[in-house]
């Protein structure tokens, strides 16, 4: 049994619910590896070997050590790869094609690459304050950063098409450099030779903040929801 745990949904962020509803301590009980964002959509979180890092929108990377730090959305798992695969000339665009034999389409999976990346292009969500806007309007105005020849780790998830809404269908991956100076939500990357750790889950656990009245009273614009998630979280298929 291998489990991906997700707190909150992307639909919630689209529904302007960006208040933190789970603590770092609670999240760490569900996994040692993952991605997310902090209270108010404050940056891009990456969790590696149990350590939590935040890329904030000025490009600075913070090591989050306060266990009471709140997150509105995060996905975590316990790192235990089922396959280690060598990749050559891998980019975000060709990642699915390179993994075709792994038959990921209908399952949840984690990918973790560590190595040297010839190019890394990320964006970082800027912190919002109440009353929160929609995720889509935040996504339209986010700082982007690029780096060349950088060593680090890519971590994130593949989700099946039918879970677009709760999460982003396709790939949703974050990056953290080995020197902990560069991080963010990946828009594009390329690497000549890296090893990819693949982990396929048989359980997807969706945890919801049922005690939060704002969440319970949320209304969603379903017509714009899927297009909004694709535009803002940008899952590569």
Chain contacts with its own copies (rule: CB under 8 A): 9, 11-12, 103, 105-108, 161-163, 165-166, 200-210, 215-220, 222, 225
Whose Cβ is closer to its own copies: residue 40's or residue 209's? 209
Provide, rounded to whole angstroms, the least separation between the CB of residue 50 and its own copies: 22
Tell me the β-bridge partners of 176. Answer: 153, 183
Whose Cβ is closer to its own copies: residue 151's or residue 222's? 222
Provide, rounded to whole angstroms, the least separation between the CB of residue 63 and its own copies: 29
Whose Cβ is closer to its own copies: residue 64's or residue 205's? 205
Whose Cβ is closer to its own copies: residue 24's or residue 229's? 229
- Give the residue among 121, 159, 162, 125 at the shortest CA–CA distance from 142: 125
* Non-local CB neighbours of 64 within 8 Å, separated by 6+ positions: 24, 38, 45, 52, 53, 54
Whose Cβ is closer to its own copies: residue 28's or residue 207's? 207
Would strands 3-7 and 203-207 be described as parallel, antiparallel, or unpaired?
parallel
Q: Are 187 and 123 in contact (CB under 8 A)?
A: yes
**DSSP per residue, 17-56:** --S--EEHHHHHTT-SEEEEEETTTEEEEEEETTEEEEE-
Provide, rounded to whole angstroms, the least separation between the CB of residue 106 and its own copies: 6
Provide, rounded to whole angstroms, the least separation between the CB of residue 201 and its own copies: 8
Give the tokens for residue 163.
């879970």
Q: Are 39 and 120 in contact (CB under 8 A)?
A: no
Provide, rounded to whole angstroms, the least separation between the CB of residue 91 and its own copies: 25
């Amino acid at each position: 049994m291998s489990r991906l745990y997700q707190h909150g949904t992307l639909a919630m962020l689209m529904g302007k619910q960006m208040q933190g509803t789970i603590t770092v301590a609670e999240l760490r009980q569900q996994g040692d590896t993952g991605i997310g964002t902090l209270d108010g959509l404050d940056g891009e979180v990456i969790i590696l070997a149990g350590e939590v890092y935040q890329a904030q929108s000025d490009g600075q990377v913070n090591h989050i050590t306060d266990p009471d730090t709140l997150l509105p959305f995060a996905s975590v798992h316990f790192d235990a790869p089922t396959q280690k695969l060598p990749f050559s000339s891998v980019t975000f665009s060709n990642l699915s094609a390179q993994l075709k034999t792994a038959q990921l389409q209908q399952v949840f999976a984690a990918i973790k690459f560590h190595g040297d990346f010839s190019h890394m292009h990320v964006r970082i969500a800027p912190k919002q304050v109440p009353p929160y806007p929609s995720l889509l309007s935040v996504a339209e105005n986010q700082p982007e950063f690029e780096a060349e020849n950088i060593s680090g780790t890519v971590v994130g998830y593949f989700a099946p098409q039918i879970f677009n809404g709760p999460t982003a269908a396709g790939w949703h991956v974050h990056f953290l450099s080995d020197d902990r100076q560069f991080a963010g939500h990946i828009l594009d990357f390329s690497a000549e030779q890296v090893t990819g750790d693949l982990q396929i889950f048989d359980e997807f656990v969706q945890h919801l903040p049922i005690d939060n009245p704002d969440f319970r009273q949320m209304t969603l614009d379903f017509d714009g929801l899927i297009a909004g998630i694709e535009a803002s979280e940008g899952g590569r298929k």
